[in-house]
């Protein structure tokens, strides 16, 4: 049988030049001043899959082979680095465990850079930094598109947890191979081989060795070492809670201005924006940009400057009665912080419908990304909600589905949706808007099969055989974990600066002679930005603006 080709043989020359550039002798000399020269002998293993905080090797002479070890130990040579090439991909930058083995194919000479040396080079030498960052980002995109990584996921698209796991891996930009059990002939034999049953689906095989049955996101993050290199116990200049646009902007500005930054993210980076199929009103993107692309770039940018980002670790409580403040995560771990930026955003409201949680992921969705669209095929879908996110979802889905029913509780779209979206919806032949209409019933066995809705004017109910409902119904802030530490408004959003009353400050014993600054909460040196902040604009651009502005307030707090 023919051997699978090297990655470099399967891509266009322009892409190859971006992914595997050849450094000039001048660039290699500059890199050498940051690291150490290391001779390698034929067959010497330099990196093993699973190694943490691995170094980067720049080849001076000889060749380095990059080998992927499959689940059953099978080996596949995927890349050969010759003189002027360098090893690594996104995990090298992130300090996460290596995905591949790197070994010397012949005797030669390399420059070895420890991860910290690589980070300092990337931050301080723009030309080389750009080459390395670009190479790593394009290599990772290639691994994602070909499913070459350290994860095999066995699942069924009729299972809500499979969707969750796929979404978690995708939104974390982690490459994985998916085995669709709905399409396999002998599912029982596959499951038997892994000593699991159909009740355990989805099954995730992590680095060929650990089999996780219907794992939580936290278990996946742990198994893949997403947080392996982060020391959560040392005192940081700023701890940012939430890695949506606001938190990521704060991380980029904070880390690039020399602050010791840690971000705690309960799920995956990107927040609500990461769930947006197309953001058209963000400055500088006249053709629009997918939320995932925008926030993945921001995530990489934050990492480049040295921010540390904990994934699938939610802040569970805040210790606010003594300094330094402490954010509790992961059971008993307390993360100490000189200052805190709250950027937890908001989540879609879950209408009080019986069966809603039963069908969540099995016909009911809270995101409208290409993944959910692929589940709908050319069927009819319902979108619940009349805001901009509902409008975008309708436009996006209308390109592939047969019919989009938009169910809106109010009289019209005009009060909540941007004019340009209303115009496009009105012009679309695929979208049908039903105002003063709400869902009253969801039914089905393993998957949603029928939806009942009511016209609020006439009281008439209709049942439709529709298998896909997108809930885009306004958001509630993620502030329950703050306990009574911080003043919130009547809807639970965090009050800051001028919106804090004398009473708010008296109740929380504001200790300073000055008033809270813009974005400062009722506790000194704790700031709130983005959608979680009372009175904020609830837009990507405003979240990014607030996150970056908060960093100047952090500087003042640290120097005060
Ligand atoms: C489908 C959709 C489409 C949209 N389209 C647009 C658009 O086109 N243009 C536009 O300007 N805006 C758009 N928006 C709104 C925009 O996405 C939000 O305004 C923006 O994402 C807010 O950013 P944020 O960082 O404040 O909060 P979020 O994006 O909500 O991010 C908050 C993050 O905090 C995390 N978190 C929550 N609780 C905790 C905790 N306890 N511990 C740790 N982490 C926690 C969450 O997991 C999340 O990742 C859209 C929103 C949606 C849902």
477 Cβ below 6 A of ligand 1: no
Rg for the chain, CA atoms, rounded: 25
Task: Tell me how far the alpha carbon of residue 515 lies from the centroid of ligand 1, in angstroms.
Answer: 29
Task: Tell me how far the alpha carbon of residue 479 lies from the centroid of ligand 1, in angstroms.
Answer: 14
User: Which residue bears the tokens 């890199």?
Assistant: 31
User: What DSSP character marks residue 274?
Assistant: G
Atom index in ligand 1 nearest the CA of residue 546 equals 26
76 Cβ below 6 A of ligand 1: no
Q: Which residues, 6 or more positions from 414, have their beta carbon under 8 angstroms from its beta carbon? A: 422
Task: Tell me how far the alpha carbon of residue 3 lies from the centroid of ligand 1, in angstroms.
Answer: 45
How many residues are recorded in the chain? Answer: 560
241 Cβ below 6 A of ligand 1: yes
Q: Ligand 1 test: best mutation among 540, 546, 547, 549, most atoms within 8 Å of CB?
A: 540
**Which two tokens mark 404?**
């989009």
Distance in Å from the first CA to the final CA of the chain: 69
Chain centroid, CA 10 distance in Å = 28
Neighbouring C-alpha atoms within 13 Å toward the C-beta of 410: 10
Task: Tell me how far the alpha carbon of residue 359 lies from the centroid of ligand 1, in angstroms.
Answer: 23
Whole-angstrom CA distances from 177 to 89, 154, 346 are: 18, 9, 31
Contacts 24+ apart (CB under 8 A), 477-483: 477/344, 477/345, 477/346, 477/531, 477/532, 478/242, 478/266, 478/344, 478/345, 478/346, 478/347, 478/532, 479/342, 479/344, 479/532, 481/314, 481/315, 481/316, 481/317, 481/318, 482/318, 482/342, 483/317, 483/318
What span, in angstroms and rounded, lies between the C-alpha atoms of 27 and 18?
Answer: 16
Among protein residues, the one whose CA lies closest to atom 35 of ligand 1: 242
251 Cβ below 6 A of ligand 1: no
User: Which residue bears the tokens 């043989």?
Assistant: 9
315 Cβ below 6 A of ligand 1: yes
Q: Phi first, then psi: what are they for 478, rounded to 5°?
A: -90, 65
pLDDT for the residue numbered 4: 67
Per-residue pLDDT of the chain (560 residues; tens, 9 = 90+): 456 688 888 899 999 999 999 999 999 999 999 999 999 999 999 999 999 989 999 999 999 999 998 767 788 999 999 999 999 999 999 999 999 999 999 999 999 999 999 999 999 999 999 999 999 999 999 999 999 999 999 999 878 889 899 999 999 999 999 999 999 888 888 899 889 998 999 999 998 889 999 999 999 999 999 998 899 999 999 999 999 999 999 999 999 999 999 999 999 999 989 878 788 889 999 999 999 999 999 999 999 999 999 999 999 999 999 999 999 997 789 999 999 999 999 988 888 888 888 888 789 998 888 888 999 999 999 999 998 889 999 999 999 999 999 999 999 888 778 899 999 999 999 999 999 999 999 999 889 999 999 999 999 999 999 999 999 987 899 999 999 999 999 989 999 999 999 999 999 899 999 999 999 999 999 999 999 999 998 889 999 999 999 999 999 999 98
Q: Which of 501, 494, 502, 475 is nearest to 534 (CA)?
A: 494
pLDDT for the residue numbered 173: 93
**What's the pTM?**
0.87
Q: Phi first, then psi: what are they for 455, rounded to 5°?
A: -85, 120
Among protein residues, the one whose CA lies closest to atom 11 of ligand 1: 539
What span, in angstroms and rounded, lies between the C-alpha atoms of 170 and 193?
Answer: 27
Q: Ligand 1 test: best mutation among 271, 367, 527, most atoms within 8 Å of CB?
A: 271
Atom index in ligand 1 nearest the CA of residue 367 equals 1
Among protein residues, the one whose CA lies closest to atom 17 of ligand 1: 273
Q: Are 481 and 475 in contact (CB under 8 A)?
A: no
Atom index in ligand 1 nearest the CA of residue 533 equals 26
Atom index in ligand 1 nearest the CA of residue 316 equals 41
Task: Tell me how far the alpha carbon of residue 274 lies from the centroid of ligand 1, in angstroms.
Answer: 7
């Amino acid at each position: 049988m023919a051997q699978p080709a090297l990655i470099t043989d399967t891509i266009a020359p322009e892409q190859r030049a971006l992914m595997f550039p050849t450094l000039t002798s001048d660039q290699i000399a500059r890199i050498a001043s940051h690291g150490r020269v290391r001779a390698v002998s034929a067959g010497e293993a330099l990196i093993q899959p699973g190694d943490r905080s691995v170094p980067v090797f720049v080849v001076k002479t000889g060749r380095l082979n990059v080998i992927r070890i499959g689940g059953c130990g099978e080996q596949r040579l995927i890349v050969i680095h010759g003189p002027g090439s360098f090893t690594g991909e996104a995990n090298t930058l992130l300090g996460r465990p290596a995905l591949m083995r790197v070994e010397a194919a012949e005797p030669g000479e390399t420059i070895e850079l420890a991860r910290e040396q690589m980070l300092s080079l990337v931050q301080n030498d723009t030309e080389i930094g750009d080459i390395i960052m670009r190479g790593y980002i394009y290599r990772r995109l290639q691994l994602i598109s070909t499913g070459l990584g350290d994860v095999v996921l066995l699942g069924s698209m009729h299972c809500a947890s499979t969707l969750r796991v796929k979404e978690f891996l995708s939104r974390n930009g982690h490459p994985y191979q998916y085995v669709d059990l709905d399409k396999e002939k002998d599912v029982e034999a596959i499951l038997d081989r892994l000593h699991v049953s159909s009740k355990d689906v989805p099954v995730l095989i992590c680095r060929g060795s650990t089999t996780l049955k219907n794992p939580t996101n936290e278990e996946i993050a742990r198994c893949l070492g997403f947080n392996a290199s982060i020391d959560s116990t040392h005192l940081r200049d700023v701890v940012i809670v939430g890695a949506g646009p606001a938190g990521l902007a704060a991380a980029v500005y904070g880390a690039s201005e020399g602050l010791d930054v840690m971000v705690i993210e309960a799920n995956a980076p990107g927040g609500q924006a990461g769930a947006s199929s197309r953001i058209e009103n963000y400055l500088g993107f006249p053709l629009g940009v997918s939320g995932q692309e925008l926030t993945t770039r921001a995530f990489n940018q934050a990492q480049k400057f040295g921010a540390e980002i904990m994934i699938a670790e939610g802040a569970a409580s805040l210790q606010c009665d003594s300094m330094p403040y402490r954010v509790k995560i992961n059971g008993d771990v307390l993360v100490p912080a000189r200052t805190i930026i709250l950027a937890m955003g908001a989540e879609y409201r879950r209408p009080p419908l019986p069966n809603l949680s039963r069908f969540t992921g099995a016909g009911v969705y809270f995101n409208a990304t290409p993944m959910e669209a692929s589940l709908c095929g050319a069927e009819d879908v319902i979108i619940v909600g009349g805001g901009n996110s509902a409008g975008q979802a309708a436009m996006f889905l209308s390109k592939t589905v047969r019919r989009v029913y938009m169910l809106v509780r109010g009289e019209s779209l005009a009060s909540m949706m941007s004019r340009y979206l209303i115009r496009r919806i009105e012009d679309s032949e695929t979208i049908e808007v039903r105002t003063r209409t709400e869902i009253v019933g969801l039914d089905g066995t393993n998957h949603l099969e029928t939806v009942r809705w009511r016209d609020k004017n006439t009281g008439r109910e209709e049942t439709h055989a529709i298998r896909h409902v997108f809930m885009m119904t306004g958001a509630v802030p993620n502030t329950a974990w703050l306990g009574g530490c911080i003043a919130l408004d009547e809807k639970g959003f965090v009050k800051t600066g001028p919106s804090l009353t004398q009473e708010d400050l008296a109740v929380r014993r504001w200790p300073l002679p000055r008033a809270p600054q813009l974005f400062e909460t009722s506790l000194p040196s704790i700031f709130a930005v983005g959608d979680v902040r009372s009175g904020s604009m609830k837009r990507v651009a405003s979240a990014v603006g607030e996150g970056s502005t908060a960093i100047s307030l952090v500087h003042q707090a640290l120097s005060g």
